[in-house]
Structures are given as structure tokens and as C-alpha cells.
């Protein structure tokens, strides 16, 4: 069994905006969220005989900053995986929900009702997004063996795609899964099956 600690980065300086590929840093509250989470992971979930073997992060600074906190506590280097970056929102990047609804009412309504086939103007389709995320995760898992514990620090939609895959949910259910800032999911990957033992979990 491989244990996958799937973490969403902490709260950013633009928490109410669709930031996608926009590279914004953590807010002070986000740093605090991740520090609390990582301390619990290291103190209560890991052990000397089964430590964390690797930390992977997207190439966006909010994930790297979050991963750095875990790296400091474990002594591991962060391995950057660009394909783990967030869904690209195209023309919606940097806008709030209200701004998108006002400026793109038809496009947003169509996307909201069919995530699997529609995409933001100039943005990424959920199908291509899922392919790149699962390709990235497949490459990560190929580096590890039974008994390893690994952490992936990524984004809300990235984590949801991975969870949909292991829970057997269709893409149009992706946003029925909560993913709070600074939350963790624990996925136990057995041969031929997966068990999601923690979902959207926070210690605070």
C-alpha cells in the first residue's frame, strides 16, 4: 500500500477570486493553516519506521510555499511537477464569482451545468485538465513502491479530479467534493483498489 497525503494549499491573498494559473502567494492565514496541518501530519501520522518519502508540488507559489512548510518539518526536498498546477480559467482568471456571472452569464451557466464538456472562454476543458493531472500523478506513483508515504501539495480542482478518479465519480460531480484551503485527503492505494480514509480534513 502507498499512502498519498493529498493537500490543498493554504488560503491565498485572493481567496474570493478564480485564480487558476494566476500565481499568487499565501496569505498569513494560509501559512498558519498549513503550519497547523503539517505539524499534525508529522507528529501524529508519520512514524520513524514509515516516514514521508517524498513531497511533490505544483509550480505555483501558493503550493510551493505550502509544501515548503512540510519540507522544513521533514527535511525533504520539494519535487516540482508543473502538470499539477490548477485548472486554467482563461478570461475568468482574477475575477470573482460575481464578476464572472455579470460579464459571462451564458458561458458560466453552461459551464456550471456541464463541467465535463464546457470550459471557460480561453480556458482549459475539464477533460484535458483531468488527463494532465492523472498523467502527472501516474508519473509520481511510478517512482514509489509498497509501503511508501508521499505528499502531493496542489490545488482545489486538482485534488477533486484525483478524488473523483479514486471514488469512481464522473467529472460533472467534481464540485460536489469539498476542498477547503489547508485541508488534507488521505488515499490508501492498494493493489487494484483505493481507499479514501480522510476527505477534506483539517485539524483546526
The predicted-structure confidence for 110-156, as pLDDT tens digits, reads as follows 999 888 889 999 999 999 999 999 999 999 999 999 999 999 999 99
pLDDT surpasses 90 at 200: yes
| Residue, of 175 and 150, whose pLDDT is higher | 150
pLDDT confidence of 192, banded at 50, 70, 90?
Answer: confident
The range of the structural domain enclosing residue 184 comes to 2-201
Check which CATH number belongs to the domain holding 189 and give it: 3.40.50.1240
pLDDT of residue 115: 84
Domain count, the chain: 1
Give dist(CA 110, CA 99) in Å, integer: 16
Model confidence band, residue 13 (pLDDT cutoffs 50, 70, 90): very high
Residue 124 appears among annotated catalytic residues: no
Name the nearest CA neighbour of 137 among 164, 173, 177: 164
Q: Which entry of 3, 9, 124, 181 is annotated as an active-site residue?
A: 9
Q: Does the structure show a pLDDT above 90 at 56?
A: yes
Q: What is the pLDDT of residue 86?
A: 99
Residue 189: the pLDDT is 98
| pLDDT tens per residue across span 61-105 | 999 999 999 999 999 999 999 999 999 999 999 999 999 999 999
Share of the chain above pLDDT 90, in %: 95
Residue-level pLDDT at 116: 82
The whole-number pLDDT of residue 117 equals: 86
User: What's the N-to-C CA distance of the chain in angstroms?
Assistant: 28
> Of residues 3, 33, 86, 124, which has the active-site annotation?
86
Q: Identify the pLDDT of residue 204.
A: 82
- CA proximity to 171, closest of 100, 116, 96: 116
Rounded to whole angstroms, how far apart are CA atoms 55 and 67? 7
How far apart are alpha carbons 80 and 119 in whole angstroms?
26
pTM: 0.97
Is 86 tagged catalytic? yes
Amino acid at each position: 500500500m502507498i499512502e498519498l497525503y493529498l493537500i490543498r494549499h493554504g488560503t491565498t491573498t485572493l481567496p474570493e477570486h478564480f485564480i487558476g494559473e494566476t500565481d499568487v502567494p499565501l496569505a498569513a492565514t494560509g501559512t498558519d493553516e498549513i503550519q497547523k496541518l503539517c505539524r499534525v501530519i508529522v507528529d501524529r501520522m508519520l512514524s520513524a519506521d514509515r516516514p514521508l518519502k517524498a513531497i511533490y508540488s505544483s509550480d505555483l507559489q501558493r503550493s510551493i510555499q505550502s509544501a515548503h512548510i512540510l519540507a522544513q518539518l521533514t527535511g525533504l526536498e520539494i519535487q516540482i511537477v508543473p502538470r499539477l498546477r490548477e485548472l486554467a480559467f482563461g478570461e475568468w482568471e482574477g475575477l470573482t464569482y460575481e464578476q464572472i456571472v455579470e460579464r459571462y452569464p451564458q458561458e458560466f451557466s453552461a459551464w456550471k451545468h456541464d463541467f465535463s464538456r464546457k470550459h471557460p472562454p480561453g480556458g482549459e476543458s475539464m477533460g484535458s485538465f483531468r488527463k494532465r493531472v492523472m498523467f502527472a500523478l501516474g508519473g509520481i506513483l511510478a517512482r514509489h513502491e509498497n509501503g511508501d508515504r508521499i505528499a502531493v501539495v496542489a490545488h482545489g480542482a486538482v485534488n477533486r479530479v484525483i478524488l473523483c478518479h479514486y471514488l469512481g465519480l464522473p467529472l460533472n460531480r467534481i464540485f460536489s467534493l469539498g476542498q477547503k484551503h489547508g485541508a488534507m485527503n488521505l488515499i490508501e492505494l492498494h493493489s487494484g483498489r483505493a481507499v479514501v480514509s480522510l476527505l477534506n480534513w483539517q485539524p483546526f
